[in-house]
């Protein structure tokens, strides 16, 4: 059953052609449903361009930096004026970028790029890690494009010298 309030789409009223019912997509489309709850006077800032992630994050960082500087200045003024120092001020920069986890400090374990088992060895020519000599024989036969794909799956983006 279509959602409430949608006007039932009627087929052609003349009996000549076989009436085609609305397709499933048309039934599910709610483009023409009345939306009384929307404010007609709200004009969206049509010129507003959708910002992408990078600009949003840099904006955040800028704002935080400015705020922090302002705080520091205020504190400096206060100490200069001899008023009591507010030590409880916690200068946390809590924004989207800051709560991201830091890089790992644990030693990285090496896993074979082909099979996924442990990889005690690394091929000096390509940089791939491998599990044993049969995998090494396989690596030797790989073309450079495939080698690049394997490396990028590990996050190593090598640039051709």
Which of 54, 4, 55 lies closest to 33 in space, CA to CA?
4
Binding mask 14-53 for another protein (x = CB under 8 A): ---------xxxxxxxxx-xxxxxxx--x-x-----xxxx
Please report which helix (H) or strand (E) contains residue 122, including its range: strand 121-122
Q: Does 152 bind another protein (CB under 8 A)?
A: yes
Closest contact distance (angstroms) between CB of 96 and another protein is 5
Task: Tell me the C-alpha to C-alpha distance, in Å, between residue 148 and each of 15, 95, 108, 138, 139.
Answer: 65, 36, 21, 15, 12
* Residue position matching structure tokens 């090494």: 136
Q: Which of 8, 10, 49, 109 binds another protein (CB under 8 A)?
A: 109
Q: Interface with another protein includes 158 (CB under 8 A)?
A: no
How many CB atoms are located within 10 Å of the residue 113 CB? 24
**Closest approach of another protein to the CB of residue 153, in Å:** 5
| Cα separations in angstroms, 90 against 65, 80, 104 | 14, 20, 26
1 binds another protein (CB under 8 A): yes
Q: Residue numbers of the site for another protein (CB under 8 A)? A: 1-5, 23-31, 33-39, 42, 44, 50-53, 56-57, 59-60, 63, 90, 92, 94-96, 98-106, 108-109, 111, 114-118, 131-132, 134-135, 138, 146, 149-150, 152-156
């Amino acid at each position: 059953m279509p959602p409430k309030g949608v006007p039932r789409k009627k087929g052609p009223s003349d009996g000549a052609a076989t009436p085609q019912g609305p397709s499933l997509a048309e039934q599910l489309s709610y483009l023409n449903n009345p939306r009384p709850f929307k404010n007609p006077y709200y004009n969206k800032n049509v010129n507003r361009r959708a910002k992408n992630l990078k600009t949003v994050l840099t904006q955040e960082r800028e704002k935080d930096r400015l705020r922090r500087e302002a705080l520091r200045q205020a504190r400096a003024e206060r100490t200069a004026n001899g008023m009591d120092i507010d030590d409880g001020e916690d200068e946390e920069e809590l924004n989207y970028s800051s709560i991201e986890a830091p890089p790992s400090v644990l030693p990285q374990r090496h896993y074979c790029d082909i099979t996924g088992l442990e990889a005690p060895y690394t091929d000096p020519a390509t940089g791939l890690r491998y599990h044993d000599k049969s995998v090494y024989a396989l690596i030797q036969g790989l073309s450079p494009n495939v080698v690049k794909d394997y490396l990028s799956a590990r996050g190593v983006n090598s640039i051709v010298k």
